[in-house]
A and B are shown apart, each in its own frame.
Chain A
Amino acid sequence: MKVNCNVNVHHLSRVEGHGAIGITIRDGKVERASWEVIETPRFFEAILSGKRWENAPVITGRICGICSIGHTLASIRAVENAFAITPTEQTGNLRLLLKHMETLQSHVLHLYFLAAPDFLGAGSVFPLIESAPDVVARAARMKLLANDVCDCVGGRRLHPTRTVVGGFTMLPEKKELSRFRERLIAASADLTQTAELFTTFKIPDFARETEFVSLKGEGAYPFIGGRLISSDGVEKEEHEYRGMTNEFLVSQSTSKWARLSRESYAVGALARLNNNFAHLHPAAAEVASLFHLKPVCHNPYMNNIAQLVECVHVVKDAVRIIDSLLDAQWEEPKQEITPRAGRGVGAVEVPRGILYHCYEFDDSGHVVKADCVIPTGQNHANIQLDLEYLASRYASEGMTDRDISLLAQMLVRSYDPCISCSVH
């Protein structure tokens, strides 16, 4: 049995933002196992104070460079809920299509560029360009497809331009949507090969029981708005989100932490899948079964596989959405907005988990108070407890510092943390 261990990873790589891992074990006892967030806060909630409603999606979309579309959509939904605006079916479909393609883009980025190098024994995707060019080309092809759809529907892949309160500034051409339909169907082969690649990876056999929080699927796998659910049986309305998140401050992090029924909970692809497995597209459920992934799975490393399963789901569902858009006549892209005093919450499942934006407006539509609760912020406490358990378990199994360090880094990467987002 190994009795001493010392792991220090400052500025963990292949994650978004700045986080550090520290593990110290002396005489078989875990003295320290910590996940520290050292990112600088940007104070978005204060920045919005006094701003007109129109600014909210433009500014808060900049919270995140990966899921800017998700932030923009959550922000728009919060404003629309405050002003009692219900989006049209056309707007709802276009937003979901955009959301799906952000999910695909982000998951492919994480699976291939951030996570896969660990399983392939590489420091980054760059050496793989020489050693496994077809793998890199496949990842690039799927990401490009997702980003091309985002450009077409949202105006831009990063910090979208066409998404506004009330709908869209401009609609895509139907012939472009038809072309994307073909490319989405053709992407099935790439997804199959991705699944084959991941079956060759050794996912660490590790589990720690926890609670999973997500939107609740009602008739469909959930992405934009709806009731909130936890795997421990808590259910709340969207506007009651604070009762789910219970944010609190800790000294080791500039990001707030969250908890519900236990000391921590998890959000993300695995949480969505655990809570909404029955709503997955059959082709996605089939991929899940390849990896014996079924609810409730408590292995955080399986979040990678849950992301892969969701890639299949969103590609299949995107084809369905495009079909329904192609069948319908285009309506007006945007509704008129009448600001009013009120509070609105927008809950959206972004790639890393459930995201909430909440704004209070005065009667002229100026922000009185803003609150954003970020998926990675909700995961921090869970990551911390996972790390403590990982350190004590693997140290007692006599593992080397190097291996513990790698597994700890892989653990954090499995959550696909978006750290600057969590601090915002």
Chain B
Amino acid sequence: MLNSGRTYLGVPVSRPKVGFFDFSSCEGCQLQMVNNESTLLDFLALVQIVNFREAMTGESDDYDIAFVEGSITRPDEVDRLQAIRSRAKVLVALGSCACFGGVNQLKNRFRDLPWVKETVYGGAAVETDVVRPLHDVVTVDLMIYGCPVRKEEVEKVVTNIAIGKEIAYPKYPVCMECKANENICLFDLGEACLGPVTRAGCGAWCPGSRAGCWGCRGPADDPNMEQMKRLMQERGISEEMILDRLECFGGFCEFSDALRAEMSKENP
């Protein structure tokens, strides 16, 4: 992995071989790599990209880090993911689909795959399973949250791997970053927002645009869900709107499943 002559603070650093792979997804997270033009060249100096179908012809099975985007929805995807896992030293789940199932897992809420297939394809035979995040199928070493991921965060993770530094996720919620940015609180604008319970690290991307958080990064450490619900309900935000956000990306599935069950009990 060592790269001749490349140093960080005078210490030689490795230039890891990386591959980008995608499963069921919009492929937007891997495109974020070429979407941050101002740092693209620096990023490419840090790593050797050996496998990136969306951007290059020619592929190699020799890689250190596999960045894997998307969720698993078909048996052939299980086989392909296991093969990637067996070759990679480090497997990174890239984005909400890979970490939690993403918007794709919204189809799981019906608990009725034949109906889901029928709705879109009529009677035609189409193979699909319950949507699963990567860690349901293989061991995942690192997760990079977000829909989409922030390229700065991906770069930080890669830099840390290259220089052998530990990766630390913020334990606190998006609210902290939002307050630090001096944004107007979405609650004061009468909007729903999962900022109080969602893991920070995005820089309060959506609230900074006066759009409430949809929880794409999943829960912060020890989220106070009851308090969040109370805060929203005090402001006239319905349980249904809270559920819409909690279940959108799959990170809060434990809580959204419970809320859905509770709501259907109240309103069968």
Contacts and interface: CB of A to CB of B under 8 A. Distances in A.
A159 B216 CA distance: 12
A336 to B, nearest CB: 12
A156 interface: yes
Contact of B128 (A41, A155, A157): A41
A421 interface: yes
Nearest to A139: B37
A62 B106 CA distance: 12
Given A65-B27, A162-B211, A123 B56 contact: yes
Interface residues of A, number: 55
A353 B147 CA distance: 25
Contacts of B211: 155, 161-162, 164, 169
Interface string A125-144: 11001000000000011011
Contact of B116 (A46, A124, A249): A46
Interface string B73-104: 11001000000000000000000000000111
A158 to B, nearest CB: 5
A16 B54 contact: yes
A140 B37 contact: yes
Given A17-B27, A47-B103, A123-B57, A65 B209 contact: no
A42 B126 CA distance: 11
B32 to A, nearest CB: 6
Given A15-B54, A159-B148, A162-B211, A249 B124 contact: yes
Most buried by A among B29, B120, B126: B120
A58 to B, nearest CB: 6
Contacts of A164: 211
Contact of B57 (A14, A40, A47): A14
A65 B26 contact: yes
A109 B34 CA distance: 9
A361 B210 CA distance: 26
B152 interface: no
A55 B49 CA distance: 36
Given A58-B248, A59-B248, A162 B148 contact: no
B34 A113 contact: yes
B67 interface: no
Contacts of A126: 44, 49, 55-56
B209 A161 contact: yes
B8 interface: no
Interface of A: 11, 13-17, 40-47, 49, 51-52, 54-55, 58-59, 62-66, 68, 109, 113-114, 117, 123-126, 129, 140-141, 143-144, 147, 155-159, 161-162, 164, 169-170, 249, 254, 420-421
User: What 4 pairs across the A-B complex have the smallest Cβ distances?
Assistant: A65-B28, A124-B56, A155-B209, A65-B26
19 contacts: A41-B73, A43-B116, A46-B107, A46-B110, A52-B240, A58-B248, A62-B103, A64-B26, A65-B25, A65-B26, A109-B31, A113-B55, A124-B58, A155-B208, A157-B35, A158-B148, A159-B148, A169-B210, A420-B24
